[in-house]
Structure 1
Amino acid sequence: MKQYDEYQKLMRYKYGYYSFNTLIILLALNYILGLFFNFQWGATKELEMLSILFIVAIVFTNISVYHNAYFRKNENKKDSSWLLLLAGLFGLYGTYQTFLFQPEEIIINGNINRGIIQLFSSLMFVSIPITYFVRNKIDERRDRKDG
């Protein structure tokens, strides 16, 4: 954490705390749905937990990016964002190809299957640069209004 300033550390800890609590609540709700209502939305319980984990991780990452707490102080944010965008688009293309030729890898009998892991990881990679570029546009508009 030496590469982050105090504000970045504060934001990461703050939203990490919120994300952890959200993870606990969602996992407990999923457990209750399975226990009392025998409701299963994933092919396996492990996949359900992993999907919840990915959702919380995506939210935490995007909040960190939006509050300028994701990238390190000296990191080239724009280059990193473009690289993450390319990786995410490549992953989304792979997920699309999987869905075309083996749709049962993504959804089977109305439940999500293990192919959803690639979709979630690709969405995380794509969402980071999108959030970064949106935040930059908001900052540019704010600077033009103030300036």
Structure 2
Amino acid sequence: MKQYDEYQRLMRYKYGYYSFISLIGLITLNYFIGLFSNLQWGVTKDLEMLIIMYIVILFFVNISVYHNAYFRKNDNKKVISWLFLITGLFGLYTTYQTFLIMPEEIILDGKIGRGAIQLFSGLLFLSIPITTFIRNRMDKKIEKKER
């Protein structure tokens, strides 16, 4: 954490706390849904937990990127964003190919299959450059108004 400034550390701790509370709440909600209605929306309970974790990770990463707390002070945001964009597009492409060849990997008997892990990984990597782009556009718009 030495490579982050005070504001970045504060934002990471703040949204890390919110993410942790969200994770506990979603896992508890999933437990009670399964307990009282015997509803299972994933092929396995382990997969359900993994998808819940991906949702919380997506929240944390995007809110950290938006508040300029994801990249370290000396990181080249453009290069890293382009790498994440390529990785995310590749992840979504492999998910699409999996869906074409074996759709039961993604959805099996109305339940989410293990192929959704590729989908969420691709979305995670793709969301970072999109959020960075949106943040940069907003900063430029605010900077333009100040002049």
Q: Into which bin does the TM-score normalised by the smaller protein fall?
A: over 0.9
Question: Residue 43 of structure 1: CA displacement?
Answer: 0.1
> Partner of 2:44 in structure 1?
44
> Partner of 2:13 in structure 1?
13
Tell me the secondary structure at the aligned position of residue 74 of structure 2: coil
Unaligned runs of 5+ in 2: none
1:67-112 alpha-carbon deviations (Å, 9 max, x no partner): 0000000000011000100000001000000001100000000000
Aligned amino acid, residue 107 of structure 2: I
Question: Residue 3 of structure 1: CA displacement?
Answer: 0.6
Matching of residues 1-147 of structure 1 within 5 Å? 1-147=1-147
User: Distance in 2 between the 1:26 and 1:87 partners?
Assistant: 28
User: How many pairs does the alignment contain?
Assistant: 147
Structure 1 moving runs of 4+ over 6 Å: none
Unaligned runs of 5+ in 1: none
User: Distance in 1 between the 2:60 and 2:5 partners?
Assistant: 18
Question: Residue 136 of structure 1: CA displacement?
Answer: 0.1
User: Distance in 1 between the 2:53 and 2:80 partners?
Assistant: 24
User: Distance in 1 between the 2:144 and 2:29 partners?
Assistant: 45
User: Distance in 1 between the 2:4 and 2:93 partners?
Assistant: 33
Root-mean-square deviation (CA), in Å? 0.4
Question: Residue 54 of structure 1: CA displacement?
Answer: 0.2
User: Distance in 2 between the 1:66 and 1:87 partners?
Assistant: 20
User: Distance in 1 between the 2:87 and 2:44 partners?
Assistant: 28
User: Distance in 1 between the 2:144 and 2:95 partners?
Assistant: 40
Aligned amino acid, residue 5 of structure 2: D
Question: Residue 47 of structure 1: CA displacement?
Answer: 0.3
User: Distance in 1 between the 2:78 and 2:53 partners?
Assistant: 27
Aligned amino acid, residue 93 of structure 2: Y
Aligned amino acid, residue 20 of structure 2: F
Aligned amino acid, residue 101 of structure 1: I
